[in-house]
Structure 1
């Protein structure tokens, strides 16, 4: 499992405070599967993953991380394709395991990631992975084999996540990246799940790519076969949801807010916990493209959705637990977040 290096919230909150996933990300994940499966098949698999088919059709909906992972697993098993029909040929079960086994004895992360590219070049007909090094930066590109090849955006996003996730797992920490490029236009709703690709991300590039510092890839690692099997069993959770920038101010503020929502979680208190002034914290968050208010709203939203979906806890109690003084205010905020009332969302979220 990839090691987190940020201060974590208390154990009672940590299990609940996990970012929810916008329905647009789930729909993009299903883009390859929809070419092979019927709408009925998709609905059935969603229900098996604990997702109501009604929720799949609600534009502002979000699913829990666990639901997303279960949906991925159900579709992969049903299709016999670990990459969900996103490439021109299916990636059969066991590919991730044998990929990992080919990396374990590599003398450095650089060699391991070169082997990673060679492994995928045996499986992909429409794309070729290449590693190039220049000016202290190593870049892995996903280049089309034919000029007429049209990229499947989520396939490329998924491969970038897999490259980063495997490299991070091998080294035991979430690795920073120098940059990410995608060979397609910016998706209309990319902002909704941009946290999975924080940092420098460019669109409309000649080829999709992810770059690392050579100094990072020169490091050695030690992983056992048993650890690999655990990593494979947890897939795709560990590698899809590993972030590029693991020690950001935003992540630290998010942890603080999640642990102190019921008692208020003010900007002043958050700044004090990080040993900085209110202004300094606001400037750091602004540099990362967010604000204290936005982070607090996201944590409230994610915790509220988690509890609505996973528990039968009364709505007024959920409202209080995420920091609302009264239930009507919580209803208004929840409608802004999802386009639905809490009760209606809970009803549509239930696969039954």
Structure 2
């Protein structure tokens, strides 16, 4: 089974902000069930879902509402918008021109916000500014637009693009640390407007994408552009991959450092610079693999405990309760939609 990061339920709840303004609780629960998510998990604070479940929920809500942005803006974004956005970018001579077209496209669709691109001191910034001073931002709508800007630019270039910074026009959300790795580069809150900045040198690059590749990108949406930064090339992701392949054998900091051809101290410093530690990464991988096995398989809990490196099942139970607030058996029962 491929090891992939799981998604905190807080992120899924935030995704449903716009949908809850238009849909009843019964509709939300039915859509969750169709996505393979028990409605009980939506109400459990420490729950997590798999990336695949999150994407299926997004797709289901978008189809049910007829809105590719899930009711997060003042008017629905009808089906097909992402496809035609992509088509308008394919023949751009550079990423700079493509992203300028991106802003023009959205300005035709949004009533409450205007996207602008500005360049200064070698930095190009795309800003999401309210058209009226009285407009109150919907945080997840802004987060989603930042993800789409970065995700589409990265897809056009064929690699994750570095950013100079991300700013949000609202206060830091509770438990933001839970999904901070969704956003590349430094993130600031309480800004005058939401924005994402790139080096001009990055956006001057050319790209080559075909219509067929675009259609594949649209079919996979929103997986590619929401989760771009889950797959990026950092020390943390390298350690995650190393740990995931050796969970059952008890991997150590020394093992990971040797695999990356650096000292333990150097690895610890690099992870600290990314806001984490070897122990935290190892626990994240254990948690994510355990949740995926509980949700996707019927393997005995004793076997799952051993597969993620626990010598005994009681220790696994204690750790799992710390991770999710639930026992493994209780989590599996709540996650089951059968």
Same fold by TM-score, threshold 0.5 exceeded? yes
CA 244–75 in structure 1, closer or farther in 2 if over 3 Å, else same: closer
Residues 183 and 205 of structure 1 are in contact (CA less than 8 Å); yes or no, is this contact kept in structure 2? yes
Residues 3 and 289 of structure 2 are in contact (CA less than 8 Å); yes or no, is this contact kept in structure 1? yes
Residues 89 and 124 of structure 1 are in contact (CA less than 8 Å); yes or no, is this contact kept in structure 2? yes
1:286 is matched with 272
Deviation at 1:198, TM superposition (A): 4.3
Q: Does 1:34 align with 2:20?
A: yes
Q: Does 1:235 align with 2:258?
A: no
2:172 is matched with 186
1:78 is matched with 64
Q: Does 1:44 align with 2:30?
A: yes
Q: Does 1:215 align with 2:173?
A: no
SS of the aligned residue for 2:70 comes to: coil
1:130 is matched with 116
Residues 294 and 328 of structure 2 are in contact (CA less than 8 Å); yes or no, is this contact kept in structure 1? yes
What TM-score do you get using the length of structure 2 for normalisation? 0.99
1:164 is matched with 150
CA 75–126 in structure 1, closer or farther in 2 if over 3 Å, else same: same
Residues 231 and 237 of structure 2 are in contact (CA less than 8 Å); yes or no, is this contact kept in structure 1? no
What is the RMSD computed on CA atoms of the aligned residues? 0.9
Give the Cα–Cα distance (whole angstroms) in 1 for the partners of residues 160 and 168 of structure 2: 21
Residues 109 and 219 of structure 1 are in contact (CA less than 8 Å); yes or no, is this contact kept in structure 2? yes
1:104 is matched with 90
Which stretches in structure 1 are left out of the alignment for 5+ residues? 1-14
Deviation at 1:245, TM superposition (A): 8.7
1:342 is matched with 328
SS of the aligned residue for 2:125 comes to: strand
Deviation at 1:148, TM superposition (A): 0.4
Give the Cα–Cα distance (whole angstroms) in 1 for the partners of residues 287 and 299 of structure 2: 16
Give the Cα–Cα distance (whole angstroms) in 1 for the partners of residues 333 and 232 of structure 2: 35
Give the Cα–Cα distance (whole angstroms) in 2 for the partners of residues 50 and 161 of structure 1: 24
Give the Cα–Cα distance (whole angstroms) in 2 for the partners of residues 147 and 46 of structure 1: 36
Task: Please identify, of 249-258 and 74-83, the stretch whose mean Cα deviation from structure 2 is larger.
Answer: 249-258
CA 321–245 in structure 1, closer or farther in 2 if over 3 Å, else same: closer
SS of the aligned residue for 2:17 comes to: coil
CA 328–60 in structure 1, closer or farther in 2 if over 3 Å, else same: same
CA 210–83 in structure 1, closer or farther in 2 if over 3 Å, else same: same
Q: Does 1:17 align with 2:3?
A: yes
Give the Cα–Cα distance (whole angstroms) in 2 for the partners of residues 68 and 202 of structure 1: 25
1:320 to 281, 290, 306: 306
Q: Which has the higher contact order (CA 8 A, sep 6+)?
A: 1
Give the Cα–Cα distance (whole angstroms) in 2 for the partners of residues 144 and 320 of structure 1: 52
1:68 to 47, 54, 75: 54
1:226 is matched with 212
Residues 199 and 245 of structure 1 are in contact (CA less than 8 Å); yes or no, is this contact kept in structure 2? no
The CA deviation string for residues 141-199 of structure 1, in whole angstroms up to 9 with x for no partner, is 00000000000000000000000000000000011110000000000121111110243
Which stretches in structure 2 are left out of the alignment for 5+ residues? none
SS of the aligned residue for 2:245 comes to: helix
Residues 163 and 184 of structure 2 are in contact (CA less than 8 Å); yes or no, is this contact kept in structure 1? no
Superposition map of 1:304-319 within 5 A: 304-319=290-305
Residues 175 and 245 of structure 1 are in contact (CA less than 8 Å); yes or no, is this contact kept in structure 2? no
Deviation at 1:317, TM superposition (A): 0.6
